[in-house]
Structure 1
Amino acid sequence: MSVPVLLAVTGAPWEADVVRRAERAPGIRVVRRCVDIADVMAAAASGQARAVLLADDLPRLTSDAVAALHARRIAVVALVDPSETGEPFGTEDRLSRMGIERILPADVSPEDLGRAITDAVESGPPMSVSHFAGGFVPTTPDLPGQPPPVFNQGSGRMIAVWGPTGAPGRTTVAIGLACELAVKGVPTLLADADVYGGTVAQQLGMLDETSGLAAAARSAASGALDMAMLAKHARQVEPHLLVLTGLSRADRWTELRPAAIESVWSTARMLAPCTVVDVGFCIETDEEISFDSLAPRRNGATVATLEEADEVVVVGTADPVGLTRLIRAIHELRSVVPSVSTRVVVNRVRPGSLGSSPSDAISEALGRYAGVEAAALLPFDQPAVDAAISHGRSLAESAKSSKLRKSLQQLATTVSKDL
């Protein structure tokens, strides 16, 4: 039985030749010709095809579109100009970073074309690394003739900083951890991926008219993201610290699609030995029951980040309400990301609502109801935090001798042992 294929090569200089080869290719049959990716997606939604054969310059082709096709179990095969095949850092690399699994020269023989499409369908699309969308891990070698990226290439570690609703201090912890790692000489990338209201740029006194993370996600969606491009989208605030600023408005959350975000983190691992990501509180997935399962999902970027992270620093507040939220959040995180590795941090520790020995109360509650121990207890030090925010600086710059800064130093020392 022949494989039904969508053909989308409109406008390519070799369109007529490809159409003839596709019609003669054994084992496949062209069921529809499409003019752009929107036409491809509409045809794919009808269930009439099992593969898509497209041109490398198809209008509006992005990694999100490729991920959506893979989610429908549709194989994607691309054709490129024969003169460009085999060139390093060219069209084939860009398409590979989009997640396209088969790339062929446009002058491929009908027999080889039919075989490639049949093999792609039988092999199935790449395994998804996120339940929101398909993902892939691109390779990004150094560009010859170009200045090297800010940091050395390597297999970096990714740490997500997350916590429940109620402003437990996620961003303060994320900035503090990233800055202390940088002070220790660890090249670090700090990224703001909070889709509900990131404030990393404001707290560090940076203008944020343009979101570095959104720009990196756009580059990833088009297959153009590599280490040099990611370093360009980031801003260097210290010798060993780069910052990817977040969204300037919460209604721009659709710019952070899971497939593109996964590609950003994959590239970040090669750019810096450590990436610290500040993410939003919400990880609900009820939106997946909506009629259109491929529609944008606001929490998709957050869940994709937590799934990609080597470790999640879970931040809670040292009061009865904050501890209750923290314990529930730990269980919720385990249900959404079963394989998660956590490091619990309790913020704003002080005598008061938890009694005269808050450390003992915190340890007992976390051990009894969550089965974990706190990796760090951060003291309540509002003057130090106020001084840092008012000057747009980190605690390491504005309050070097504060108790909170010293606790964050200790946390960074513990984290750096795993790098």
Structure 2
Amino acid sequence: MGVPILLAVTGAPWEADVVRRAEGAPGIRVVRRCVDIADVMAAAASGQARAVLLAEDLPRLTSDAIAALHSRRIAVVAMVDPSDNGEPSGAEDRLSRMGIERILPADVSAEDLGRAITDAVESGPPATVSHFAGGFVPYTGDPPNEPPRPYGEGTGRVIAVWGPTGAPGRSTVAVGLATELAAKGMPTMLADADVYGGTVAQQLGMLDETSGLAAAARSAGGGSLDVTVLARHARQLNSHLLVLTGLSRADRWTELRPTAIESVWLTARMLAPCTVVDAGFCIESDEEISFDTLAPRRNGATLATLEEADEVVVVGTADPVGLTRLIRALHELRAAVPSAKPRVVVNRLRSGPLGNTPAEAVAEALSRYAGVQAAALLPFDQAACDTALAHGRSLTDAAKSSKLRKAIQGLAAGVTADLLS
């Protein structure tokens, strides 16, 4: 009978030739012709095909759609115009970034076309890539029309800063950690991925009318995101620190699709040795929406960030309510993202709510109820935070000798040691 496929090459200059070859190719049979990706998804949902053959410029084609097709165990094969000199074209790079592994020239023979589609179906969807190896490329103030300069080789690390509801100080820790890593000479990118109320731009005195992360996600969805494009979307705070600003309004959360966010972090691994991400608090999964792979999920960006992160810095508050939330959050994180490697940070440590020995009380509670044997303790230092916020600067610049800044320095030193180990 042959492998049933969907054909979506409408509008391509070589449409007629491809249709003729596809209908005569051995081992496959065309069950439906589609006009755009929405038509493809509707046909795929019916279960009538095992592969899709599409044109490079198919309307509304995005990485989310490709991921949805792969989730249905449907192979995706793309066709591009043959390049003049045989070199890979820009279209091939864009399609590859979307997650399409099988890319054929439009003049492929019927025999080779049938063989390629059959092989794609037998091989199954591509495996999820968890790391993107390559050279680190920090953006160090080069002219905007020049690409970033290479920096060594290796795999960049992603550190997610996350914690429960109640404003335990996630953004303060994320900004402090990123600026301290940059102060040590490590090229670092700080990204604000809080879909409920990101404040990184405000804390650093930046105008945030345009979200760098949303722009990067749009580029990722269209398959055009690479190291140079990501560096262009980021803002340069100093010679070793890039900032990818977050959403200016919480109702724009639909712009941060999980698939696009994963692509942003994979590209970030090539941009800097370390990427620090300020993530939203909620990791609840909507069971009804999760059945629709194309439906937007507000917490999808946070879950994707935690799954991609090499380490999760979990921030809680040093008071009875904050510790209870922190302990519950640690259990929720282990259930939602079993692969997560948490580093616990207890913020706003002070005498009073936890008695005269707050450090001992924190250690006992975390050990007994969460199985955590060691946690970084950050002192309550409202004066230092007020000074930094008033000047729109980090603690590294605005309160260099504060107790809180020195404690975050110690946290950064521990993270650096793990990065270099």
**Aligned-pair CA distance for 1:136:** 8.9
1:350 corresponds in structure 2 to 350
The 2-side partners of 1:138 and 1:92 are apart by 20
Deviations 1:8-59 (A, max 9, x none): 1111111110000001101111111111111111111121111110001111
1:293 CA displacement: 4.3
Change over 3 Å in CA distance of 1:206–1:71 after alignment to 2: same
Q: What amino acid maps onto 1:68 in structure 2?
A: A
Q: Deviations over 1:172-226 (max 9, x none)?
A: 0000000000011010000000111111001111001110000001111111111
Three-state SS of the structure 2 residue aligned to 1:83 is: coil
CA contact (8 A) 2:78 2:104 kept: yes
Deviations 1:320-373 (A, max 9, x none): 010010011001100111121110000000000100000000000001111113
**Aligned residue number for residue 262 of structure 1:** 262
Q: Distance in 1 between matches of 2:150 and 2:163?
A: 29
Task: Tell me the amino acid that sits aligned with residue 238 of structure 1.
Answer: N
State the alpha-carbon separation in 2 of the partners of residues 52 and 418 from structure 1: 44
Do the aligned residues in 2 keep the contact of 1:51 with 1:76 (CA within 8 Å)? yes
Name the counterpart of 1:147.
146
Provide the residue aligned with 2:193 in structure 1.
193
Query: Which deviations, in whole Å up to 9, do the C-alpha atoms of 1:222-246 show, x marking residues without a partner?
Result: 1111100000000001110000000
Could you say which residue in structure 1 is the equivalent of 2:127? Answer: 127
Partner of 2:359: 359
2:226 alignment partner in structure 1: 226
For 1:176, the equivalent position in structure 2 comes to 176
Offset, 1:86: 4.5
For 1:73, the equivalent position in structure 2 comes to 73
Matched with 2:287 is: 287
Aligned to 1:315: 315
* CA distance, structure 1, for counterparts of residue 136 and residue 87 of structure 2: 13
Partner of 2:395: 395
- SS class of match (2:146): coil
Give the aligned partner of residue 109 of structure 2: 109
Structure 1 Cα separation of the partners of residues 230 and 123 of structure 2 = 32
Compute the RMSD of aligned alpha carbons: 1.9
**Which residue type is aligned with residue 177 of structure 1?**
L
The separation in 2 between residues aligned to 1:389 and 1:171, in whole angstroms, is 12
Q: Which residue of 1 aligns with 2:273?
A: 273
Q: Are residue 209 (structure 1) and residue 212 (structure 2) matched?
A: no
Matching residue's letter, 2:326: L
Q: Structure 2 vs 1, CA of residues 105 and 88 (structure 1 numbering), >3 Å: closer, same or farther?
A: closer
Aligned counterpart, 1:31: 31
Residue of structure 2 equivalent to 1:132: none
Asked whether the 8 Å contact 2:164–2:316 carries over to 1, the reply is: yes
Residues 288/270 of structure 1: CA separation in 2 closer, same or farther (3 Å cut): farther
Normalized against structure 2, the TM-score is what? 0.94
Confirm or deny: 8 A CA contact 2:5 2:31 kept in the other structure.
Answer: yes
Mapped to 1, the partners of 2:85 and 2:100 lie a distance apart of 15
Residue equivalent to 1:245: 245
1:325 aligns with 2:325: yes
Question: Bigger CA drift: 396-405 or 84-93?
Answer: 84-93
Mapped to 1, the partners of 2:202 and 2:288 lie a distance apart of 33
CA distance in 1, matches of 2:347, 2:89: 46
Question: Shift of residue 375 of structure 1?
Answer: 3.1
Structure 1 residues 57, 326: CA separation in 2 closer, same or farther (over 3 Å shift)?
same
Equivalent residue for 1:46? Answer: 46
SS at match of 1:161: strand
Q: Name the SS of the counterpart of 2:103 in structure 1.
A: strand
Distance 1:89 1:161 in 2: 38
Once the two structures are TM-superposed, the CA of residue 67 in structure 1 deviates from its matched residue by: 0.7
Q: Which runs of 5+ in 1 are unaligned?
A: 130-134
Amino acid at match of 1:387: T
Q: Work out the CA distance in 2 between the residues paired with 1:138 and 1:20.
A: 41
Give TM-score, length-normalised by structure 1: 0.94
Q: Distance in 1 between matches of 2:406 and 2:136?
A: 38
The alpha-carbon deviation at position 287 of structure 1 amounts to 3.4
Q: 1:271 to 1:165 in 2, by over 3 A?
A: same
Aligned-residue offset at 1:88:
4.4
Which letter maps to 1:386?
Answer: D
Using the TM superposition, give the Cα deviation of residue 295 of structure 1 relative to its aligned residue in structure 2, in angstroms: 1.2
